[in-house]
């Protein structure tokens, strides 16, 4: 059977950075994210006993050794669990730039977990899929669900309580994201290596972990009351704390370029003039603006006319993973 699944990317408002267990990919902190309608990955998986090795086609091109190895390691987990012995062919298409801080690993591993587990004959619940996707990429655990999602760091050593859960469905609150793409290049240091470096070298790491639960509590309260100012202020605080942690690692990691910084100033300037808009930035140079529907045109136009911005994507909140194809 060739199974095709689709998963949407997500952007964290309260960020995840740091692992309590690197082998099981267990986060040191929880997180809260928005699943994005307009950014998605379609992934097809087929196991076949005639395949000699696992192969990965990413956006129509055969992927390199490093990427294929990462996928193969993930498929091994599914093979161990299902008894499926065959190698697989994986075809994955993103409708947005890969590995540039646009959460391609989130939608990628969520879609892969759904398609590969079903193709291997497993029938997993959403929670089990979230635990499985987490083993591929921490943020992928959140992309299993739509709308507004919380990831639990969990306490258990085996990671069975480290999964995501939906907080609110996509239609709970019409939040909008505008993503200003400032570079389509791959990021210089991936999140796994970056998190290890921060944990091992940053004097701010303990402060980050210790101060994090208050952001989760504050964000949940803002969401419950649809308090957009509260949501925005905590988002910027969590984002800047994460980047301060990365900057204070040794060697320091600076994910921004000059356009990223100009974007931050621009959004704060728009805010000073009375239109509420806030930013968040992941491990890459893209600026993500969070606003309400009435501010979309103004923010989109302003970001689009900033020198260095290549494109501005607009999205609403989107759904969780779905299986969209089953062929023999």
Nearer to ligand PMV, 106 or 267 (CB): 106
Q: State the nearest-atom distance from the C-beta of 173 to ligand PMV, in Å.
A: 20
Q: Which residues contact 133 (CB under 8 A, 6 or more apart)?
A: 109, 110, 112, 113, 140, 141, 143, 144
Q: State the nearest-atom distance from the C-beta of 239 to ligand PMV, in Å.
A: 9
Q: Which of 68, 66, 40 is nearest to 53 (CA)?
A: 68
Q: State the nearest-atom distance from the C-beta of 31 to ligand PMV, in Å.
A: 5
Nearer to ligand PMV, 16 or 47 (CB): 16
Q: Which residues bind ligand PMV (CB under 6 A)?
A: 12, 15-17, 31, 105-106, 137-139, 191-192, 282-283
Q: Which of 96, 5, 88, 106 is nearest to 311 (CA)?
A: 96
Cα–Cα distance measured from residue 192 to residue 242, given in angstroms and rounded to the nearest whole number: 14
Structural contact between residues 301 and 270, judged by C-beta atoms closer than 8 angstroms: no
In Å, how far from its chain's centre is CA 256?
A: 18
Structural contact between residues 127 and 92, judged by C-beta atoms closer than 8 angstroms: no
Cα–Cα distance measured from residue 221 to residue 241, given in angstroms and rounded to the nearest whole number: 20
Nearer to ligand PMV, 138 or 170 (CB): 138
Q: State the nearest-atom distance from the C-beta of 58 to ligand PMV, in Å.
A: 16
186: DSSP letter: P
Cα–Cα distance measured from residue 35 to residue 193, given in angstroms and rounded to the nearest whole number: 25
Nearer to ligand PMV, 33 or 117 (CB): 33
Nearer to ligand PMV, 170 or 194 (CB): 194
Cα–Cα distance measured from residue 254 to residue 295, given in angstroms and rounded to the nearest whole number: 30
Q: State the nearest-atom distance from the C-beta of 183 to ligand PMV, in Å.
A: 16
Cα–Cα distance measured from residue 194 to residue 18, given in angstroms and rounded to the nearest whole number: 8
Nearer to ligand PMV, 17 or 47 (CB): 17
Q: State the nearest-atom distance from the C-beta of 135 to ligand PMV, in Å.
A: 11
């Amino acid at each position: 059977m060739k199974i095709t699944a689709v998963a949407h990317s997500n952007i964290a408002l309260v960020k995840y950075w740091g692992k309590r267990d690197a082998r099981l990919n267990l986060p040191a902190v929880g997180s809260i994210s928005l699943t994005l309608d307009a950014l998605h990955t379609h992934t097809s998986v087929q196991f076949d006993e005639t395949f000699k090795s696992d192969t990965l086609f990413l956006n129509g091109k055969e992927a390199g050794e490093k990427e294929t190895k990462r996928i193969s390691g993930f498929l091994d987990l599914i093979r161990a669990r299902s008894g499926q012995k065959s190698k697989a062919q994986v075809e994955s298409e993103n409708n947005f730039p890969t590995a540039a801080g646009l959460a391609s690993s989130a939608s990628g591993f969520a879609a892969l977990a759904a398609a590969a587990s079903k193709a291997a004959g497993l029938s997993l619940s959403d929670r089990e899929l979230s635990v499985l996707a987490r083993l591929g990429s921490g943020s992928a655990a959140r992309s299993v669900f739509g709308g507004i999602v919380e990831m639990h760091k969990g306490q258990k050593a085996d990671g069975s309580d480290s999964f995501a859960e939906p907080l609110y469905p996509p239609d709970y609150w019409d939040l909008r994201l505008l993503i200003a793409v400032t570079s389509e290049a791959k990021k210089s240091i991936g999140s796994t290596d970056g998190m290890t470096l921060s944990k091992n070298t940053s004097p701010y790491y303990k402060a980050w972990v210790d101060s994090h639960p208050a952001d989760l509590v504050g964000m949940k309260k803002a969401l419950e009351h649809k308090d957009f100012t509260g949501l925005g202020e905590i988002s910027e605080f969590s984002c800047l704390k994460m980047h301060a942690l990365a900057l204070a690692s040794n060697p320091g990691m600076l994910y921004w370029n000059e356009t990223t910084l100009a974007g931050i100033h621009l959004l704060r300037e728009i805010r000073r003039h009375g239109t509420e808009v806030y930013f968040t930035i992941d491990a890459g140079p893209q600026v993500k603006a969070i606003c309400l529907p009435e501010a979309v045109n103004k923010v989109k136009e302003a970001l689009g006319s900033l020198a260095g911005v290549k494109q501005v994507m607009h999205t609403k909140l989107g759904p969780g993973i779905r299986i969209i194809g089953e062929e023999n």
